[in-house]
């Protein structure tokens, strides 16, 4: 009998894997109370210290083997764990407990972990909250060594599907390096570091597959279908053949798509479409160039602020932007200003701790206008980068025109300041707005008048229009990109831009989804920005579409309010 587990698929171009399950105990390992006989004490101390050293050696090995294009924040993450391992609070305090109380190494480590956790828990600081997770990662690594889970397991990983409660980014890199065929985790969301890394490493994964570690057996053959977010066990030979054949087709397909890297993105009836890429880190530029993108439509800069104790200064911002701008040559780079808040917290948001509803709180532009010194630092760096290439600045989460005017005034002010200081910049640098709240979409004419371009952020537009938290999987079934209200808002923004002769693009996940792409074109969008892994696929799809046909069908489709009929009609557009 086949067992099917469902989770969230992370498909970075390779969607399917078939391999034996290998279980990795990366969840929180709980030690049982165990006391020693007197004679064993010094032996136990040595066992503990060796385990700490082996854990550090594992991390150093990961650090050494890390691929060149690994995001800098992942390196910092590993360095933090190495520092913690060297900290006396972790490496020496348990030794004291072994000697004074006669605890086993595991129990001493568990007691120390619990003590430190209590200290962290008493503090409301969000920075310390992330340190709590780090502490567990480090403790679990030492526990893993004490439990004898050594590199033998790691050596057996090639071609296997790794099943774990959760994985650190460091583990993800190591597993990729050791040839894992795919990853299944019980926890995690598509926004987690592990998911982001798996996607950029092209490692198929299913995260949030609840029950995976208890329901799946080590050594049994699994099918991982990241495209549909499913893990299958106990498949018969026919099913296995089907998926093995699908892997071959996927490989062949990826190969064919490469031929489109330099091909124009043009519909069958000759309408040119611009495909751009969304990035999170400067290092992503390499993948963007490989994808044949015609620019960067969304650079999410908030990752510059994460996993660190200090705020990035102007020079650090500038160097990051410069790397992207130089990497993209004469192609445009749209840098979005800080969009912290809601599901993207960082250590420098004291306000977030007392926030009752983060998605509706001091998020993105609201935070920037309140903390204008932080905002000005970023604006200055973006303006300086504008002297080096085709830079555009984009503001997130606007809801009213006062915020828009306030932000523009700060930008103008910094243009004057930099000019007075004799620092080169492009005074004509285009400034755009993200339309991702219903308020902004309904009043899009106003925004189109004030800004040089608009970009529709459907991830948030859907969340705010339908009152569905985009990060909460209990209401994920209500998160409906095809809800008529969402479609009408998108169409309204496109029409407003046409009236004002301003460019409009779409940069939410909908843009890179082949199910919705014909509809987006049908609504008049000619510029789409998406994850680089989706780009060549989108180009191929567009080259088979007829622009005029799509317009005709979409006008009709937008009159439909019945969700089932609407879904059928959208499916028909792609056929």
Q: Measured from the CB atom, is 464 or 547 closer to Mg ion?
A: 464
Q: Measured from the CB atom, is 458 or 569 closer to ligand PEP?
A: 458
**Interaction between residue 186 and ligand PEP (CB under 6 A):** no
Q: Among 197, 198, 507, 570, which residue sits at the site for ligand PEP (rule: CB under 6 A)? A: 507
**Interaction between residue 457 and Mg ion (CB under 5 A):** yes
* Closest distance of CB 276 from Mg ion, Å: 16
Cβ contacts of 524 within 8 Å, gap of 6 or more: 491, 494, 495, 498, 551
Which listed residue (176, 193, 348, 553) is catalytic?
Answer: 193
How many other C-beta atoms can be found within 10 angstroms of the C-beta atom of residue 550? 24
What residues between 408 and 437 interact with ligand PEP by CB under 6 A?
436
Per DSSP bridges, beta strands 431-435 and 391-395 are parallel
DSSP 511: G
Q: Measured from the CB atom, is 312 or 508 closer to ligand PEP?
A: 508
What residues between 326 and 355 interact with ligand PEP by CB under 6 A?
339
Question: Is 483 a known active-site residue?
Answer: no
* Closest distance of CB 153 from Mg ion, Å: 40
Which listed residue (235, 368, 507, 553) is catalytic?
Answer: 507
* Closest distance of CB 458 from ligand PEP, Å: 5
Comparing every residue's Cβ against Mg ion, the nearest one is 460
Question: Is 193 a known active-site residue?
Answer: yes
- Identify the sign of the CA torsion 125, 130, 134, 135: positive
CA gap 196, 216 in Å, rounded: 24
Q: Measured from the CB atom, is 386 or 437 closer to Mg ion?
A: 437
Partner whose binding site includes residue 283, from Mg ion, ligand PEP, none (CB under 5 to 8 Å by kind): none
* Closest distance of CB 440 from Mg ion, Å: 11
CB 288 within 8 A of CB 532: yes
CB 224 within 8 A of CB 238: no
**Interaction between residue 302 and Mg ion (CB under 5 A):** no
Instruction: Pick the piece of the chain touching ligand PEP (CB under 6 A) from 169-177, 355-363, 457-465, 489-497.
Output: 457-465
**Interaction between residue 436 and Mg ion (CB under 5 A):** yes
**Interaction between residue 457 and ligand PEP (CB under 6 A):** yes
What residues between 459 and 498 interact with Mg ion by CB under 5 A?
460
CB 161 within 8 A of CB 222: yes
* Closest distance of CB 72 from ligand PEP, Å: 19
CB 459 within 8 A of CB 431: no
CA gap 442, 246 in Å, rounded: 44
Q: Measured from the CB atom, is 300 or 483 closer to ligand PEP?
A: 300
**Helix boundaries (H) for 467-511:** 484-499
CA gap 106, 98 in Å, rounded: 10
Q: Output the CA angle 438-363-517, nearest 5 degrees.
A: 45
**Interaction between residue 229 and Mg ion (CB under 5 A):** no
Structure tokens at 198: 């798996």
Q: Measured from the CB atom, is 230 or 359 closer to Mg ion?
A: 359
Q: Among 153, 459, 488, 541, which residue sits at the site for ligand PEP (rule: CB under 6 A)? A: 459
Partner whose binding site includes residue 14, from ligand PEP, Mg ion, none (CB under 5 to 8 Å by kind): none
**Interaction between residue 458 and ligand PEP (CB under 6 A):** yes
Cβ contacts of 450 within 8 Å, gap of 6 or more: 401, 404, 405, 408, 433
Q: Output the CA angle 168-348-282, nearest 5 degrees.
A: 60
Cβ contacts of 523 within 8 Å, gap of 6 or more: 487, 490, 491, 494, 554, 558
* Closest distance of CB 547 from ligand PEP, Å: 24
Q: Output the CA angle 562-564-569, nearest 5 degrees.
A: 95
Q: Measured from the CB atom, is 109 or 298 closer to ligand PEP?
A: 298
What SS3 class is residue 162? Answer: strand
Q: Output the CA angle 415-421-423, nearest 5 degrees.
A: 70
* HEC secondary structure over 268-332: CCCCECEEEEEECCHHHHHHHHHHCCCCEEEEEHHHHHCCCCCCCCHHHHHHHHHHHHHHHCCCC
Query: How many residues sit in the footprint of ligand PEP (CB under 6 A)?
Result: 10
Q: Measured from the CB atom, is 186 or 460 closer to ligand PEP?
A: 460
Q: Output the CA angle 234-237-238, nearest 5 degrees.
A: 115
Per DSSP bridges, beta strands 431-435 and 453-456 are parallel
Q: Pattern of binders to ligand PEP over 261-300, x per CB under 6 A?
A: -------------------------------------x-x
* Closest distance of CB 506 from Mg ion, Å: 12
* Closest distance of CB 511 from ligand PEP, Å: 9
Q: Measured from the CB atom, is 317 or 363 closer to Mg ion?
A: 363
Q: Pattern of binders to ligand PEP over 82-101, x per CB under 6 A?
A: --------------------
* Closest distance of CB 441 from ligand PEP, Å: 12
Q: Among 229, 327, 430, 508, which residue sits at the site for ligand PEP (rule: CB under 6 A)? A: 508
Which positions touch ligand PEP (CB under 6 A)?
298, 300, 339, 436, 457-460, 507-508
Which positions touch Mg ion (CB under 5 A)?
436, 457, 460
Could you list the active site residues? 193, 507
């Amino acid at each position: 009998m086949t067992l099917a587990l469902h989770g969230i698929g992370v498909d970075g171009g390779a969607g399917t894997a078939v391999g034996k399950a290998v279980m990795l105990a990366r969840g929180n390992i709980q030690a049982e109370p165990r006391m020693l006989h007197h004679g064993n004490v010094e032996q136990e101390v040595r066992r503990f210290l060796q385990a700490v050293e082996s854990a550090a050696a594992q991390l150093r090995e990961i650090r050494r083997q890390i691929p060149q294009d690994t995001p800098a924040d992942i390196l910092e993450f590993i360095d933090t764990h190495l520092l913690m391992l060297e900290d006396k609070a972790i490496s020496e305090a348990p030794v004291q407990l072994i000697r004074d109380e006669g605890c086993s190494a595991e129990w001493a480590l568990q007691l120390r972990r619990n003590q430190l956790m209590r200290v962290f828990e008493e503090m409301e600081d969000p920075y310390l909250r992330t340190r709590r997770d780090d502490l567990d990662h480090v403790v679990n690594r030492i526990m893993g060594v004490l439990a004898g889970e050594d590199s033998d397991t790691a050596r057996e990983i090639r071609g296997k599907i790794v099943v774990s409660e959760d994985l650190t980014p460091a583990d993800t890199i190591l597993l990729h390096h050791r040839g894992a065929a795919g990853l299944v985790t019980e926890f995690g969301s598509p926004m987690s570091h592990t998911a982001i890394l798996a996607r950029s490493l092209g490692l198929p994964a299913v995260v949030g597959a609840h029950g995976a570690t208890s329901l799946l057996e080590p050594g049994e053959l699994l099918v991982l279908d990241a495209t549909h977010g499913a893990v299958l066990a106990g498949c018969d030979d026919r099913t296995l053949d089907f998926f093995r054949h699908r892997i071959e087709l996927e490989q062949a397909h990826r190969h064919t798509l490469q031929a489109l890297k330099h091909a124009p993105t043009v519909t069958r009836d000759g309408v040119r479409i611009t495909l751009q890429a969304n990035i999170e880190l400067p290092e992503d530029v390499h993948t963007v160039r490989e994808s044949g993108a015609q620019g960067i439509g969304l650079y999410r800069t908030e990752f510059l602020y994460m996993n660190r104790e200090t705020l990035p200064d102007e020079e650090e911002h500038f160097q990051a932007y410069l790397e992207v701008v130089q990497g993209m040559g004469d192609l445009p780079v749209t840098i979005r200003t800080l969009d912290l808040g809601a599901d993207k917290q960082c250590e420098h948001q004291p306000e977030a701790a007392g926030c009752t509803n983060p998605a509706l709180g001091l998020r993105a532009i609201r935070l920037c206008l309140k903390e204008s010194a932080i905002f000005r630092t970023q604006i200055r760096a973006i303006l300086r980068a504008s002297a080096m290439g085709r830079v555009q600045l984009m503001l997130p989460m606007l809801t009213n025109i006062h915020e828009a005017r306030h932000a523009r005034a700060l930008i103008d002010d910094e243009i004057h300041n930099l000019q007075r200081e004799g620092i080169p910049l492009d005074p004509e640098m285009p400034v755009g707005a993200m339309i991702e709240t219903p308020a902004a979409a309904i009043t899009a004419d106003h925004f189109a008048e004030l800004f040089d371009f608009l970009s529709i952020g459907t991830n948030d537009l859907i969340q705010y229009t339908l009152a569905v938290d985009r990060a909460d999987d209990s209401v994920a079934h209500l998160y409906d990109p095809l809800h008529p209200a969402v479609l009408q808002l998108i169409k309204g923004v496109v029409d407003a831009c046409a009236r004002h002769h301003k460019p409009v693009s779409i940069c939410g996940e909908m843009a890179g989804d082949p199910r919705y792409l014909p509809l987006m074109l049908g609504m008049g969008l000619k510029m789409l920005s998406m994850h680089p892994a989706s780009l060549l696929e989108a180009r191929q799809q567009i080259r088979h579409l007829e622009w005029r046909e799509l317009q005709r069908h979409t006008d009709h489709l937008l009159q439909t309010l019945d969700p089932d009929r609407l879904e059928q009609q959208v499916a028909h557009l792609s056929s």
